Structure 1
Amino acid sequence: MASPRRPIRIGNCSGAAVDPGDVMYEQAVSGPIDVITGDYLAEANLAQAAEAYAEGTHPGWVASAWDGLQKTLKVAAERRIKIVINGGALNPKGLAAQCAEEARRLGLSAKLQIAWVEGDDLLPDVRQILRPDARGRLPHLDAENPEVKLADGTAGFFDDPRKKIVAANAYLGSRAIRAGLDAGADIVICGRVADASPVMGAAAWWHGWADDDFDRLAGALVAGHLIECSYYTTGGNFAGFDEYDAGRDLLDIGCPIAEIDAGGACVITKHETLRGVVTAETVKCQLLYELQGNVYLNSDVKADLTHIAVRQAGADRVRVSGAKGYPPPPTTKLAVFYRGGFQGEHTVNAVGYATPQKYDMLEAQVRNQLRKWKCESEIDVLEFQRVGVPQANPRSQLKATTYFRIFVQAATADAVRKVFAAWAYNFMQHFPGMGGTLDWRLIMNPVPFLGYFPAVVRQDRLRESVNFLDVSDGATPAAARKIEVAAPQITEPLAPRLNYDPVAPQSLDTFGSTTLVPLGDVALARSGDKGANVNVGFTPRARLNHNEEMWQWLRSFLTRDRIKQMMGEDWHDGSYYVERVEFPQIRAVHFVVYGALGCGVSSSARLDCLGKGFAEFLRAVHVPVPRRFLGPVKVASHL
């Protein structure tokens, strides 16, 4: 084991399956690094390939992860860089074997020990795990919150023989990864582990932490969360991008690095030779991404972020500390995907004058035809969504053009087709100036979709292990030894989430006169999906230099009712529920809006199905901002 006297330097190489393999190689050769980690799995990745993998037409692993390994194995062996990734997806053993074959081809078999983690695939036992309780409820992630109303049909798949479950994968922690590194592994290939688990496992191995070093593990969980999404702390998806030269500062940016010390605090940075920006603001925004509230969960630890601190520690160096760790919950998340049926969508556009009435006319025509055909009962979801607002007194035809999105889900492809047959039946009765594609092959071609059910499973039901390949004899790689990992010995039930409006808020009148401007003029934000829910966190723009005063205004202004008001027509009273907490050390207010993404992920009807645009929508809403905070600010919304 390496010396714990200096921080471990962990570089991320992926936040999604589309991140190219070049990034892994880039992290290895661009500067000093101890471990490379990669998170390739979005929520639905495993399910999307599950049936093809079962039929033998898909390898089960992520292609870009394999590409990265091929490009990086030689330099990783030469520089003694460990690699821990979840790109094994459905078939971590298969990718480990591929990796071993490549190592042998390169003459590296003696230098690289290759292992894989298994135990996340619970498909054989999923129906028993999902067995309803005494009240008939399935173990949904939000089932214990009495304020949350689950979307209609959330649990209907369980008794529907047409909705076959195709994937059920538990979110594993870092214990098997750490055990593999302790046993000498150089490459650890995982399937569904939690996003931050590779970073946590590497840090625990390097520093020799015990399983109950909860404060340290909480710090590593935060570090993993901060670098897991590839470019999200170096300039990608950053609300403050408009303060930079996109053609210089935010072009060809590199992925981040976490330097984690023996106490669990970290410095987020990047290789000096790579482009991008690492500031307190880029780090704060990523910290606020996809949180559940003030407590961040992993199957190894609960991290209380209430007093998390973020400060600039040099050029492209940001120190993060203050996470408090507690025993993990006895359960972990179980992502269940099933055949949801078929869905389709089609967009038409209208130009300029009387656009709302034009879309009213089109919707009435389609609904009327479906009633005449008596096929409405065959359709599960039918939404007519209006996208955009035409520019008043338009300067061009494009600026006068908006879109009308017809979205449908049904049990059969034929039912989906009927919606678009209804549109086509009335095609020549269309409103004036209707437009859209003339390629009828692109119009509402029904495709199968996956439904999603975020469940929970007890950790003591898991059979988690790390497995090593034996490639020494030149034969086909085979399993040499298995190290089983027990469930956490110390757990703690989840407490109700904190949810409060500002404590001792300052009267908004004390901040002086106001003017209506987009909230984004004075605040940054980031949002994301949490199953059926969307989260969003806000923090003041640092460049305005009002610090404590602006923070007091922001936290006093952003109440739960304010978020409902700002959501406007998107707030569904009675269906949605909102939680709010504050992070005073980083001057941030955080919300979770339950139910805003329907059933979530692959089955959401929302145009913004991943919730990433929610923050930018709210930043565009005009609110009364104290004039003293504005000054001569040039922002994108005013250009």
Structure 2
Amino acid sequence: MTLLAENYENDPIDVLVGDWMSEGNMTVRAGTKISGQVDAYEPTFLEALQPALPHIAKYRIKVAVNAGAADTKKLHEAVTKMVKGQGLNLSVAWISGDEVLPQLLEAQKRGESPFENICTGESLDDWDFEPIYAQAYLGGLGIAKAFEKGADIVVCGRVSDASPVIGAAYWWHNWQRSDLDELANAFVAGHLSECSSYSAGGNYTGFKDLEPLGWENIGYPIVEISHSGEVVVTKNKGSGGQISVNTLTSQFLYEIQGPWYFNSDVTAILDNISFEHLSTDRVALRGVKGALPPPTTKVGITAKPIYQAEMHWFMTGLDIPAKARMIETQIRMLLAPHLSAFSHLSFQIIGSVPDNPTNQNAATVDFRVIAQARRAEDLAPAKFVRPCIDPIMCAYPGATPHLDLRQAFPKDIFEYYVTLMPQSDIQHRVHLSSGESIEIAPPAESKVYSKHQPTQHTTGNVVDVGSFGATVPAPLGTIVHGRSGDKGSDCNVGFWVRHQDEYAWLQNLLSTSFVQSYLLGDEYRGGRVERFEFPGLKAVHFLLKDHLDRGVSCTSSVDFLGKNCAEFLRCRVVDVPLRFLARGRI
């Protein structure tokens, strides 16, 4: 924030927005709120804000962030105190209404909705956990109203990731709720800028191209939004990385669910989305259309904590499967008296040994034992870590446990449930520094959408994959970019290519059945897979329903954010046309 604010005279910005929320810290901060042990907002926001405040005040830069997490009012108090402590004349407002557990439980009691889990399809009545907190995703119009009423800084809890950009643009241009195309473009602009440096090259599969551009100093995206809703994306001057069609495609495909992109204020229709290169580090967004928002909004429910512990062994060299089988058998025998109290136990081999490794680290894999239980005492040292480590003198050759046992002691984790509730049940309010409180009404018009995104299991642009000429077995990622991410226990993954003839090949190669039967390999466990094409991006997108073992807050997977799903799939070997490889690898 300081970097961007202090350079205003050379690189002016009007509004600083920040997204501090994820499903991971939503659950953690919810537990903090309930326990009351420490403040339940995101303290790193205050660390970022404090040195930036003098520049924000000097240049009258507006600020909108969702760092309130589970205690927005307390964050408002902390920011107000900080502003006064620096003797600055800045008005601080805050947004409420995202905390919805009481009205959700009342509606459940009255039988008004099954509150179906949008990832798994289960009913909330059948969820085997006790809710302690629930947060709804709010839109951006409360932020817009706060700015309209003179606020300089607006702190929010669980507004959607893109809502600060929507609110800023709505206020700046004096839009109306009926300006759906404009709102939709601002919404996508918010998605492109919400994740810090991602749009400038972070988490980008073409990352090797960034090294000569300064990958140690990747910049921050800046979105320029016109009154008519046109969007241009650039980055702060003097920074590394790049803004390109490919880096923006990477960020766009991250976390979307399909061609319908929902927010409390608008639905963005993405069928015809594309990016246009204007000049170095300047790319225009094209083709986004707006539609009415849904009558509902997403709600994340956090449950009373359960507990998790894990233990690691190192295995090196030959016979890794047999070594793993031996130590697992020994550990299971010692755990047997305690297993009935475990809700989860798994043994995982992480990594593999290459042929003829040239150093010992390359020949070493991680053998992970992970357990979960409802009570901390069921994972006490005598019941978990001792049975895991005691076979050391009778185990496989080279048996070496990790000596840092901190993860082997029980820690609390939180189950997370994602559902929908009517926007009309939410009390969205703006609280101004004057003490005035303003209610933000839900949208007067909305549209009910199918619970499943449009899907096309095979392409309509049918071409014989043999028509592309001679092929050679090679990893998919030699010519195909990819990006994946999590939403609850769903995982999305998008693939795109550089050239139009490559896209015809990709469309025909990546059918739903090919992804299920081959590409996912052992990772496919029978779940629903939704497929959609983005021709303007030369991309094919998949939504893997309920693929991520319950989501980031309580998963037993090391890919807890789903971000490595694409990297796994890109290393799968397929028949790649030689003429595509001749153009160079990614």
Question: Same fold by TM-score, threshold 0.5 exceeded?
Answer: yes
Letter in 2 for 1:207: H
What runs of 5+ residues in structure 2 fail to find an aligned partner? Answer: none
Range moving further from structure 2, 236-245 or 190-199: 236-245
> Partner of 1:10 in structure 2?
none
- Do 1:30 and 1:273's aligned partners in 2 also have CA atoms closer than 8 Å? no
CA shift for structure 1 position 45: 1.6
CA 1:367–1:61 in structure 2 vs 1: closer, same or farther (change >3 Å)? same
Tell me whether 1:630 sits opposite 2:581 in the alignment: yes
Tell me whether 1:369 sits opposite 2:347 in the alignment: no
- Do 1:97 and 1:469's aligned partners in 2 also have CA atoms closer than 8 Å? no
- Do 2:314 and 2:402's aligned partners in 1 also have CA atoms closer than 8 Å? no
CA 1:360–1:37 in structure 2 vs 1: closer, same or farther (change >3 Å)? same
Counterpart pick for 2:312 among 347, 365, 377: 347
Tell me whether 1:519 sits opposite 2:476 in the alignment: yes
Please give the secondary structure, in 2, of the residue aligned with 1:198.
helix
> Partner of 1:180 in structure 2?
146
Q: Structure 2: how far apart are the matches of 1:581 and 1:149?
A: 21
Aligned pairs (5 A) from 1:410-421: 410-417=373-380, 418-421=383-386
CA 1:169–1:24 in structure 2 vs 1: closer, same or farther (change >3 Å)? farther
- Do 1:40 and 1:87's aligned partners in 2 also have CA atoms closer than 8 Å? yes
CA shift for structure 1 position 155: 5.0
Letter in 1 for 2:551: G
For residues 557-580 of structure 1, the C-alpha deviation after alignment (integer angstroms, 9 at most, x for no partner) is 11111212111111112xx11000
Aligned pairs (5 A) from 1:375-414: 375-414=338-377
CA 1:252–1:233 in structure 2 vs 1: closer, same or farther (change >3 Å)? same
Q: Structure 2: how far apart are the matches of 1:342 and 1:50?
A: 16
Q: Structure 2: how far apart are the matches of 1:377 and 1:176?
A: 49
> Partner of 1:473 in structure 2?
none
> Partner of 1:614 in structure 2?
565
Q: Structure 2: how far apart are the matches of 1:257 and 1:27?
A: 13
- Do 2:222 and 2:234's aligned partners in 1 also have CA atoms closer than 8 Å? yes
For residues 567-601 of structure 1, the C-alpha deviation after alignment (integer angstroms, 9 at most, x for no partner) is 1111112xx11000001111110001111112112
Aligned residues: 581
- Do 2:461 and 2:504's aligned partners in 1 also have CA atoms closer than 8 Å? no
> Partner of 2:46 in structure 1?
66
Aligned pairs (5 A) from 1:228-243: 228-243=194-209
Tell me whether 1:449 sits opposite 2:416 in the alignment: no
Counterpart pick for 1:139 among 98, 112, 116: 116
Q: Structure 1: how far apart are the matches of 2:110 and 2:342?
A: 27
Letter in 2 for 1:514: T
For residues 490-513 of structure 1, the C-alpha deviation after alignment (integer angstroms, 9 at most, x for no partner) is 110012411112113211011011
For residues 511-541 of structure 1, the C-alpha deviation after alignment (integer angstroms, 9 at most, x for no partner) is 011111111110111100011110000111x
Q: Structure 1: how far apart are the matches of 2:32 and 2:554?
A: 19
What runs of 5+ residues in structure 1 fail to find an aligned partner? Answer: 1-12, 14-21, 143-147, 471-479
CA 1:68–1:370 in structure 2 vs 1: closer, same or farther (change >3 Å)? closer
CA shift for structure 1 position 389: 1.0
For residues 260-289 of structure 1, the C-alpha deviation after alignment (integer angstroms, 9 at most, x for no partner) is 112222111012222221111000010000
Letter in 1 for 2:446: T
Q: Structure 2: how far apart are the matches of 1:531 and 1:261?
A: 34
> Partner of 2:496 in structure 1?
539
Counterpart pick for 2:429 among 442, 456, 465: 465
TM-score after normalising by structure 2: 0.95
Q: Structure 1: how far apart are the matches of 2:297 and 2:10?
A: 36
Q: Structure 2: how far apart are the matches of 1:23 and 1:42?
A: 24
Tell me whether 1:121 sits opposite 2:121 in the alignment: no
Q: Structure 1: how far apart are the matches of 2:363 and 2:172?
A: 59
Please give the secondary structure, in 1, of the residue aligned with 2:514.
helix
Tell me whether 1:212 sits opposite 2:190 in the alignment: no
For residues 148-189 of structure 1, the C-alpha deviation after alignment (integer angstroms, 9 at most, x for no partner) is 666xxx85885x6xx543321110001111111121211111
Q: Structure 1: how far apart are the matches of 2:29 and 2:121?
A: 31
CA 1:447–1:306 in structure 2 vs 1: closer, same or farther (change >3 Å)? same
> Partner of 1:485 in structure 2?
440
Q: Structure 2: how far apart are the matches of 1:571 and 1:432?
A: 33
Please give the secondary structure, in 1, of the residue aligned with 2:500.
helix
- Do 1:386 and 1:403's aligned partners in 2 also have CA atoms closer than 8 Å? yes
Counterpart pick for 2:13 among 33, 48, 70: 33
Counterpart pick for 2:244 among 261, 275, 279: 279
Range moving further from structure 2, 99-108 or 513-522: 99-108
> Partner of 2:453 in structure 1?
497
- Do 2:311 and 2:402's aligned partners in 1 also have CA atoms closer than 8 Å? no
CA 1:622–1:51 in structure 2 vs 1: closer, same or farther (change >3 Å)? closer
- Do 1:24 and 1:68's aligned partners in 2 also have CA atoms closer than 8 Å? no
Q: Structure 1: how far apart are the matches of 2:384 and 2:540?
A: 43
CA 1:366–1:551 in structure 2 vs 1: closer, same or farther (change >3 Å)? same
- Do 1:28 and 1:72's aligned partners in 2 also have CA atoms closer than 8 Å? no
For residues 222-262 of structure 1, the C-alpha deviation after alignment (integer angstroms, 9 at most, x for no partner) is 0000000000011111111022316x521122211000112
Q: Structure 2: how far apart are the matches of 1:26 and 1:539?
A: 37
- Do 2:343 and 2:372's aligned partners in 1 also have CA atoms closer than 8 Å? yes
- Do 2:473 and 2:574's aligned partners in 1 also have CA atoms closer than 8 Å? yes
> Partner of 1:560 in structure 2?
512
CA shift for structure 1 position 28: 5.1
Please give the secondary structure, in 1, of the residue aligned with 2:529.
strand
> Partner of 1:288 in structure 2?
253
Q: Structure 2: how far apart are the matches of 1:532 and 1:76?
A: 39
CA shift for structure 1 position 47: 2.9
Q: Structure 2: how far apart are the matches of 1:32 and 1:367?
A: 62
- Do 1:452 and 1:602's aligned partners in 2 also have CA atoms closer than 8 Å? yes
Q: Structure 1: how far apart are the matches of 2:385 and 2:393?
A: 14
Tell me whether 1:304 sits opposite 2:293 in the alignment: no
CA RMSD of aligned residues (A): 2.1
Please give the secondary structure, in 2, of the residue aligned with 1:487.
coil
CA shift for structure 1 position 130: 4.1
Please give the secondary structure, in 1, of the residue aligned with 2:285.
strand
CA 1:632–1:208 in structure 2 vs 1: closer, same or farther (change >3 Å)? closer
- Do 2:219 and 2:242's aligned partners in 1 also have CA atoms closer than 8 Å? no
CA 1:26–1:429 in structure 2 vs 1: closer, same or farther (change >3 Å)? farther
Percentage identity across paired residues of the two chains: 35
> Partner of 2:300 in structure 1?
335
> Partner of 1:91 in structure 2?
71
